[in-house]
């Protein structure tokens, strides 16, 4: 009985340490550090650098765990808005509001992933997978409006909607143009309305 309890205790401690390391890396990224060092992560987690390597044998395994936790944090914001049968104006309002929340929440990790992707297959795959998921969601949500356009332009329209609803557009509005969340939301909504509405 004592051996089992001791083993269970070690497993629980190991899980807590792994979680602390992952949360430490996410916290550093959230604060703007696009490439935290092992020493920085260890210091934030309250462990020795060698402990990080004991729990994550490679950088890629750490990145995979960080991405998994990141996606857990984003899950509520990645859910489809409950507006499938609503008029376009209401769908746009709900969609853009959700995207604004999502992009503000994911921006620090997205910037870090962009920085690390050239050297990390895990970061590159995760970044592209989330891009594709968000693009597919936008096209799916606005499928009735897209199908109302001539067949010859639908593929082009899908591409345009995906781009207009992307994090890249959001970052261009927020970082390059330096406008507020409210103004960026209005610009995204206006762009999508211009693409989707039949006038």
DSSP code for 180: -
Residue 84: partners with Cβ closer than 8 Å, 6 or more residues away: 141
- pLDDT tens, position by position, 40-51: 999 999 999 999
In which band, very low, low, confident or very high, does the pLDDT at 11 lie, cut at 50, 70 and 90? confident
- pLDDT tens, position by position, 131-147: 999 999 999 999 999 99
Distance in angstroms between the alpha carbons of the first and the last residue of the chain:
74
Question: Looking at the predicted structure, is the pLDDT value of residue 93 above 80?
Answer: yes
The CATH number for 2-57, chosen from 2.70.98, 3.30.160, 3.40.50, 1.10.10, is 1.10.10
Q: Could you tell me the pTM of the whole model?
A: 0.89
Residue 36: partners with Cβ closer than 8 Å, 6 or more residues away: 25, 28, 29
Task: At 172, list the tokens.
Answer: 């261009």
């Amino acid at each position: 009985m004592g051996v089992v309890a001791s083993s269970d205790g070690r497993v629980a401690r190991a899980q807590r340490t792994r979680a602390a390391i992952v949360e430490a890396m996410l916290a550093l990224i959230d604060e703007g550090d696009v490439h935290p060092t092992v020493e920085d992560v260890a210091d934030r987690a309250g462990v020795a650098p060698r402990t990080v390597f004991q729990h994550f044998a490679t950088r890629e395994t750490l990145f995979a765990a960080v991405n998994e936790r990141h996606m857990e944090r984003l899950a509520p914001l990645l859910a489809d808005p409950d507006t499938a049968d609503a008029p376009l104006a209401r769908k746009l309002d709900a969609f853009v509001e959700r995207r604004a929340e999502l992009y503000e929440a994911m921006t620090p990790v997205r910037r870090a992933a962009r920085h690390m992707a050239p050297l990390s297959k895990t970061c590159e795959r995760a970044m592209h997978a989330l891009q594709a998921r968000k693009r597919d969601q936008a096209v799916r949500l606005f499928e009735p409006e897209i199908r109302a356009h001539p067949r010859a332009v639908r593929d082009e329209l899908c591409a345009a909607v995906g781009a207009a609803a992307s994090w890249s557009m959001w970052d261009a509005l927020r970082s390059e143009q330096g406008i507020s969340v409210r103004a960026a939301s209005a610009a995204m909504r206006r762009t999508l309305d211009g693409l989707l509405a039949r006038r």
